[in-house]
């Protein structure tokens, strides 16, 4: 019983301090401190090693699949996909980490 009460107390304290609340985008000193965001693939999109269509594809996010992601975008190589052209890429944690075309994902804080 003591262990259960301790875990409940810790969880309650964490909630009171907002430790379990969803992350919100804020200005930070660097990417290590950046809060986590999420992307959801609008259609199948390749996860690339760098922000360029010429970069090695490390895998893909399938339609509806989500991944934790950076809350800041990266300017990279131009692409035409998912209904338009852009040079904006989002770093994701999926497939060992890489970049996806911004136009092909919904991006949430």
Give residue limits of the domains in the chain.
23-108
**42 pLDDT more than 70:** yes
| 79 in Cβ contact with 54 (< 8 Å) | no
Share of the chain above pLDDT 90, in %: 67
Q: How far apart are CA 24 and CA 37, in angstroms?
A: 8
**14 pLDDT more than 60:** no
How much is the pLDDT for 36?
86
pTM of whole model > 0.75? Answer: no
Which CATH code is given to the segment(s) 23-108? 2.30.30
Rg (CA), the chain: 17
How much is the pLDDT for 21?
27
How much is the pLDDT for 12?
34
How much is the pLDDT for 35?
56
CB under 8 Å to 80, separation ≥6 — which residues? none
How much is the pLDDT for 4?
39
- SS3 of the chain: the string is CHHHHHHHHHHHHHHHHCCCCCCCCCCCCCHHHCCCEEEEECCCEEEECCCCCCCCEEEEECCCCEEEEEEEEEEEEEEEECCEEEEEEEEECHHHCEEEEHHHEEEEC
């Amino acid at each position: 019983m003591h262990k259960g009460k301790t875990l409940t107390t810790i969880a309650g304290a964490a909630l009171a301090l907002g430790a379990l609340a969803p992350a919100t985008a804020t200005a930070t000193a660097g990417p290590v401190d950046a809060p986590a965001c999420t992307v959801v693939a609008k259609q199948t999109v390749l996860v690339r090693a760098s922000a360029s269509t010429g970069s090695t594809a490390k895998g893909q996010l399938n339609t509806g699949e989500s991944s934790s992601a950076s809350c800041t975008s990266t300017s990279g190589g131009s692409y035409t996909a998912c209904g338009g052209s852009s040079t904006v890429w989002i770093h994701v944690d999926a497939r060992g980490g890489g970049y996806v075309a911004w136009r092909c994902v919904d991006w949430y804080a």
